[in-house]
Chains A and B, each alone.
Chain A
C-alpha cells in the first residue's frame, strides 16, 4: 500500500472531506498561504480558497467561538490551535459552551466541530509549546478526545471526527508528523471509541497513547529479542474509551504497563489504571499496574533535560522488563 506521513494523512483527510462536503472548512492562525505552523494545511487555500481556509487574527478564544457558532448553524468546521498550550485561551468556549449545549438545551442542538491541535515535546520549544493537556479535555463531559498514533489512524479518525455530530478535540503529535505508514487513498473511517491492538504478545500489555505507541512498538522489538513478547494496545480515542479491547488484552497477559507523555499526576494513565483495576481483568493481574509517564514538571529547554522529561524507548524497555521479571 501507498505510504504517507502522518502530516500528509491529516491533510488528505481534510482535503478529501472538503471536496466531499461543502459544509467543511478550516479556520485557524496561519492556516492559509503559510500552511499552518507545521505545514498541515499547505496548499489547501490554493485549492479551496480563502473562504474555506480561513486565516484568523491571534484570537484562540475567537477561533473556538467561530467553530462553535458556525457548527450551530449547519457548518462542519475544523479549527486549528497552533499549539495545544494555547487551547488555554479557548477553554471557556470549549468547556462551558460547545461541550454543554447539546445536553443543556435538552438535545435540541448539535455542535459538530473538530478542533485540531499539535501537542507534545521533543522539539526544543520548552515549557509553553510542548505540553500534552489531553486529560483536561477528557475530564469535560461533552467533548470527544481523539489521539492518533499512526498515519492510517490519523486519516480514518479525522474523517470520523468531522462526520461526528459532536465536538471533538483532535490531538496530533509534532514528532509524529514526519513518520510514515500505509494509508489507503480512498476515504475510510475508524469509529471513535475503538482501540487497536498494534502488536500481539503474551507476556505483558502496554497501553500507550500518541507517540508512546510508536516508542512502545520499538521497545517491544527489543524486548522480543530477550524473549519477552509484548502486546501493545492503542486506545486511539481517549473519550469515548474502548474498555473492552484493553481489558481483554490484560486478561490475556496478566501484566500491564501504561505509557503516556503527559505528566503522570492527574494524567490519563490514572484513568486507564482505574478502568483495568475495576474490570474483570483485576482477577488476572499477576503484578501491580504500572504507569510510565512524563515527569511532573514543565518541559525544559535543554536538549538532554527535555529528552529525560518524558518516557523514551529505553525507559519503556526497562519498565517492561521489570514488570515481566517480577521486580515490581
Chain B
C-alpha cells in the first residue's frame, strides 16, 4: 500500500502538530495555565499517526491517558482540543474531561482514558456492536505495555478473537509502565507473541517508523474489515518525557533518553521524505512552522474561551 505524496506530507504535518501541541502543553503547565497532570507522547508520534493513517475517517478509536497524539491524528479540531485541555466550556467535553478524557465522538474518537487498560474491554464491546449491526467500520484500540499485563487484556483479546470482532489492538510499547521497565515486566521478548495465545496475528514493528506502522496496521485493518477478526500490533517506541508531570526519571539514564532522541520519528520521516523528493527542506520547514502556528492559534482560542458556569456544574448528571 503506497501512500500518495500529499498523504505523506499530511502525516508529517500531523506529527509536527502533535509535537507542537505537547510542547505547548508543557509550557502552559509550567506557567500554571492548566492544572492537574498530563501524559506526553513526545517521541511516540509515529505510532499514533501511522496507526490512524490506516483507518477510514468513519472508523473508531479508543485512546489512552497518553492520548493527545491519537486525538490529533484522528482529525480533532485543535481549538476544541486545546479548550478542553484548558478546562473551557467550549472544549470537546465542556471542560469536564481534561487531558486524560478528551473524546471527539463525532470524529470517531470514543475517548482517552484515565485508567491504564480501561479501553481494552470497551473496544471489544464496540467491535461486538459493530459486528452485530453489520456495520463496515472497525475499532482501533491503543494501550501501552503496562496495560498488556492487566487481566482485561486476557479476557478482551480472547473474546474479540473467539467472536472474530473487527478490532485492531495497538500496543504502544514505550519501554516503561510508569517506572517499571518492560525488561522486568515481561518474560518474553515481544509483547506481540501473546497474540498466538488468542489465535490472532501478532506483529512487532519499529514504532518510530511511521510508514512501517502504517503498513502493519493497514494489514490488520484489512483483516478486521474482512470479518477475519482482531490483530495485535506492538509499536516499539519510547517516551522522551516522564510518565507524567511528577516524574523525576530516576529509573532510567540520560544516555538512554538521548539515544532514543537520536531515533526521533519526526526527524526520521522528514529526512526520508526529503531524500525521496517528496519535500524540500523549505517545504518541510513550512509544514513545521504551520503546525506550531496552528497550536498558537488554538491556545489563543482556548484562552479567549469561557470557563464553565458554576450553575451548570451538575448538567449531564442523571443518577
- Chain B residue with minimal CB distance to A73? B129
Contact A106 B92 (CB under 8 A): yes
Residue B36 interfacial (CB < 8 Å)? no
Residue B224 interfacial (CB < 8 Å)? no
Q: Please give the distance in Å from B50's CB to the nearest CB on chain A.
A: 24
- Which listed residue (A57, A93, A97, A102) contacts B162, Cβ 8 A? A57
Q: Please give the distance in Å from B166's CB to the nearest CB on chain A.
A: 11
Chain A residues contacting B139 (CB-CB under 8 Å) are 69
The answer to whether residues A104 and B96 also contact, given A71-B129, A141-B317, A141-B319 and a CB cut-off of 8 A, is yes
Contact B319 A106 (CB under 8 A): no
Residue B1 interfacial (CB < 8 Å)? no
> Contact mask B88-103 → A, CB, 8 Å, 1/0?
0001111111000101
Contact A72 B318 (CB under 8 A): no
Chain B residues contacting A71 (CB-CB under 8 Å) are 125, 129
Residue B155 interfacial (CB < 8 Å)? yes
**Count of A-B contacts with CB under 8 A?**
148
- Chain B residue with minimal CB distance to A142? B319
- Which listed residue (B110, B127, B129) contacts A109, Cβ 8 A? B110
Q: What is the bound-complex CA distance between A107 and B314, given in angstroms?
A: 11
- Chain B residue with minimal CB distance to A59? B155
Contact A73 B123 (CB under 8 A): no
- Chain A residue with minimal CB distance to B84? A106
Interface of A is mostly: mixed
Residue A108 interfacial (CB < 8 Å)? yes
Q: Which of A60-68, A203-211, A277-285, A316-324 contacts B (4 or more CB under 8 A)?
A: A60-68
Contact A69 B96 (CB under 8 A): no
Residue A48 interfacial (CB < 8 Å)? no
Residue B120 interfacial (CB < 8 Å)? yes
Contact B319 A66 (CB under 8 A): no
Residue B42 interfacial (CB < 8 Å)? no
Q: Which of B111-119, B267-275, B286-294 contacts A (4 or more CB under 8 A)?
A: B111-119
Chain A residues contacting B124 (CB-CB under 8 Å) are 62, 65-66, 69
- Chain B residue with minimal CB distance to A108? B105
Contact A106 B125 (CB under 8 A): no
Chain B residues contacting A65 (CB-CB under 8 Å) are 120-125, 152, 155-156
Contact A103 B96 (CB under 8 A): yes
Q: What is the bound-complex CA distance between A101 and B110, given in angstroms?
A: 9
Residue A271 interfacial (CB < 8 Å)? no
Residue B177 interfacial (CB < 8 Å)? no
Chain A residues contacting B128 (CB-CB under 8 Å) are 66, 69-70, 75
Contact B105 A109 (CB under 8 A): yes
Chain B residues contacting A97 (CB-CB under 8 Å) are 113, 115, 118-119, 122
Residue B315 interfacial (CB < 8 Å)? yes
Chain A residues contacting B123 (CB-CB under 8 Å) are 65, 69
Contact B118 A92 (CB under 8 A): yes
Contact B132 A51 (CB under 8 A): yes
The answer to whether residues A69 and B162 also contact, given A105-B101, A142-B318 and a CB cut-off of 8 A, is no
Chain B residues contacting A239 (CB-CB under 8 Å) are 319
Residue B277 interfacial (CB < 8 Å)? no
Q: Please give the distance in Å from B183's CB to the nearest CB on chain A.
A: 27
Residue B278 interfacial (CB < 8 Å)? no
Q: Which of A61, A67, A74, A109 has the most CB of B within 10 A?
A: A61
Q: Please give the distance in Å from A80's CB to the nearest CB on chain B.
A: 15
Chain B residues contacting A73 (CB-CB under 8 Å) are 60, 126, 129-130, 133, 135
Contact B155 A57 (CB under 8 A): yes
Q: Please give the distance in Å from A121's CB to the nearest CB on chain B.
A: 27
Chain B residues contacting A69 (CB-CB under 8 Å) are 121-129, 139
Residues of A within 8 A of B (CB): 25, 51-52, 56-57, 59, 61-62, 64-75, 77, 92-93, 96-97, 101-109, 141-145, 166, 239-240
Can you give 8 contacting A-B residue pairs, CB < 8 Å? A61-B156, A62-B124, A62-B158, A65-B124, A69-B127, A103-B317, A105-B101, A166-B318
Give me the 3 closest cross-chain CB pairs, A-B, nearest first: A69-B125, A65-B121, A70-B129
